[in-house]
Amino acid sequence: MDPLSEAFQHHTWATEQLIRHLRRLPPEALTASAPGVYGEVLATLSHLLDADGRYVRYLEGTPPPPRTGPDPVRTLDELADQLRDQAVRWRVVLSRIGDLDVTIPARGERPEMPHAANLMVVQALHHGNDHRTQICTVLSVNGYASPDLDVWSYWVERRLAPPA
């Protein structure tokens, strides 16, 4: 598997592991927050997946409409379904990433960004890691265990573990 596909496999795996972990916690953990993070756990995870959907839409050639407010908060079941759908869409887009010509429109002080397919991919990976880390921080500071989502854990589970 090429490194970019592997990076997205980790991206999907880590979010999937986080959802599984959150299912085992009490409901109040999903509304926990801490200073300096995006927001409550479930709101942050909803934002992560909605943003991921916007990034892949740009790459698919159907830019999303402008956002008019915060991303809606979804249930863990809805987020798990969304993750599965987006994982397939990412695989398709990544298989032709070299052929894509994406322009990101100007927004606020940020200029228009032509030829930005690679930028969108890097942003998706960075954004996912950033918000998964924030969620783990929120869990930890509120007395809940947080899952191991790093690349080492991914590699051990996906590449070294014997098939089930």
Domains and CATH numbers, the chain: 3-144 (1.20.120.450)
Q: Provide the sign of the torsion angle of the four alpha carbons 142, 146, 149, 150, taken in this order.
A: positive
Q: Is the pLDDT of residue 63 over 90?
A: no
**Residue 92 buriedness (CB in 10 A; 0-12 / 13-18 / 19+):** exposed
User: Coil, strand or helix: which one is 107?
Assistant: strand
For residue 13, name the pLDDT band (cuts at 50, 70, 90): very high
pLDDT band with cut points at 50, 70 and 90 for residue 74 = very high
Whole-model pTM: value is 0.94
Give the residue-averaged pLDDT of 10-26: 98
The per-residue pLDDT for range 97-125, each reduced to its tens digit, is 999 989 888 888 999 999 899 999 999 99
Q: Please, are residues 10 and 151 in contact by the beta-carbon 8 Å criterion?
A: yes
Give residue 163's pLDDT band: very low, low, confident or very high (50, 70, 90): confident
In whole angstroms, how far apart are CA 117 and each of 50, 55, 108, 156, 163? 18, 9, 20, 30, 35
Over 70: is that where the pLDDT of 24 sits?
yes
When the pLDDT of each residue in the chain is averaged and rounded to a whole number, the result is 94
Most distant CA pair in the chain: distance in Å? 51
Q: Is the pLDDT of residue 9 over 70?
A: yes
Evaluate if residue 1 carries a pLDDT over 80: no
pLDDT exceeds 90 at position 164: no
